[in-house]
Structure 1
Amino acid sequence: MSGSKDDEGSSWTSRFLKVASAAAATVAVAGGIYAVLSSSSANSEHEAAFGEEQLYNKGGAALVAKWKKPEAGWVKLNVDGSQDLFKGPSAGCGGVVRDSSGKWVGGFAKKLGSSLKAHQTELQAILTGLQFASRMKLKKVVLESDHNSAVRMVENGVKPNHVDYDVVEQIKEKLFRFEGEVRLVVINTMANSVADRLANNARDPSFYSVYQEYVDPPINCVQYLQRDQMGCVSSF
């Protein structure tokens, strides 16, 4: 997430799965299966091997500072929101889908209203990413965001009088009706460099479209894709 992050990295755990049993501490959803996974989950995307660069959240759980390929049969959708209060101001969001080999499947960038706060750009990134995944008819999606507060808002919901109620409800509705399975995961910012670049592209003055989808990666994303493919820790 470009810009500030509220309460980033705090420890939390919750899972939502399409099952009938309340004994499993799960919630049934009609259209698809979705899970909100903790960064401290023993089997999460963030479990680090010895020697990997790590950052830690307040609960002491390691967040690996590099992108990881999804398991076979899944795709990974990284999303990010971006704002710049000093040069513009401007805001945008972006996302990238990659398969289990790390190959680019598709991407998007969207210009947003410049008055949005950091967490609001991330909520828009999550919503736009889900819409993108639905149009692509993806079935098994790991959706990664680097904004903990935004993901927690989706997990817990907000009150009807909350300023972000409408977009949070849209995201929950998308998850509810998704024709497949979605795992929503909080990651380290350094593992989100390609989505960050796409979001930055969207708020650039030279980005004349309101919304654009990419069959092939933009040229300024290629080096970040290559670093992720090689398992390098990104720096940007």
Structure 2
Amino acid sequence: MLRAAHRPLGSSGSMLWLCSPLSACLAGGRSSSAAAPSPSGGGGARRGSSNGRIIAPESASVWRKPEAGRLKLNFDGSSKHASRRASIGGVYRDHEGGFVLGYAERIGRATSSVAELAALRRGLELAVANGWRSVWVEGDAKTVVDVVRSRARVRAEEDSRLCADIAALLPLLDDLCVSHVRRQGNRVAHGFAKLGHGAASPRVWRDAPPDEVLRYLQRDAEGEGK
């Protein structure tokens, strides 16, 4: 289990937005506030009235498209219960739901939290390597998402190392939106993570996704991710 102490994950010059699918990830423009504005009719993240904390809206149930000009990363980690053999995967898509890039790899024996954090780290590394500076990050491991959003520091040694790696990547992005989605909205990333178990070496797909995830990619793009 991922245990967190509320200390900074790391200093960052980037803008970290706490968001839901109905926040600034779907609305145009940046904000000078740490909280992202919501589009008309949406209930986006807001500041609490007493202590200025960011209040994140309820988790999403389905995958949602990002705004134009922003890419969306969905990540997932997979750790088999008995053997603890783990793999990671993730997918980048554009504002039309179009496939941009996917990745998958085995990471040896690991806990589920290590797998989730490693999947996120790899996704951010790919964003930096490709020069993508505006990214909406989404995962179905709520504890991991909460750790990134609150800049908390975890106590387990391997989790802490991965969080430090993630913190070092954040300043390399202009703005970063982080949200939680339930498993059914993260099925494409889960499919890539499953592919990682059988990958002899790290894999990256560009432009053309593997057949195993095509059905869910199409459903998400058409708004049928149920």
- Whether TM exceeds 0.5 here: the answer is yes
SS in 2 for 1:223: helix
- 2: CA distance, partners of 1:164 / 1:63: 23
With over 3 angstroms needed to count, the CA separation of the structure-2 counterparts of 1:28 and 1:172, relative to structure 1, is closer
Runs of 5+ unmatched residues, structure 2? 4-9, 27-37, 39-54
Q: Which amino acid aligns with 1:196?
A: H
User: Deviation at 1:44?
Assistant: 6.5
Equivalent in the alignment of 1:230: 222
Runs of 5+ unmatched residues, structure 1? 8-26, 48-58
- 1: CA distance, partners of 2:60 / 2:155: 35
Q: How many equivalent pairs are there?
A: 192
Of 23, 29, 40, the residue aligned with 2:12 is 29
Equivalent in the alignment of 1:76: 72
User: Deviation at 1:158?
Assistant: 1.8
* 2:86 corresponds to 1:104: no
Equivalent in the alignment of 1:208: 200
With over 3 angstroms needed to count, the CA separation of the structure-2 counterparts of 1:156 and 1:34, relative to structure 1, is closer
Q: Is the 8 A contact 2:133 2:174 kept in 1?
A: yes
* 2:143 corresponds to 1:138: no
Q: Which amino acid aligns with 2:23?
A: N
Of 153, 156, 166, the residue aligned with 2:151 is 156
Q: Is the 8 A contact 2:113 2:159 kept in 1?
A: no
Q: Under a length normalisation based on structure 1, what TM-score does the superposition of the two structures give? A: 0.71
Q: Under a length normalisation based on structure 2, what TM-score does the superposition of the two structures give? A: 0.74
Equivalent in the alignment of 2:180: 186
SS in 2 for 1:63: coil
Measured against aligned partners, the alpha-carbon deviations of 1:50-98 in whole angstroms (never above 9, x if no partner) come to xxxxxxxxx9x65332211101111111111111124x54211111111
Equivalent in the alignment of 2:41: none
Equivalent in the alignment of 1:129: 123
- 1: CA distance, partners of 2:90 / 2:16: 19
Q: Is the 8 A contact 2:117 2:162 kept in 1?
A: yes
Q: Which amino acid aligns with 1:118?
A: S
- What is the root-mean-square deviation of aligned Cα atoms in Å? 3.0
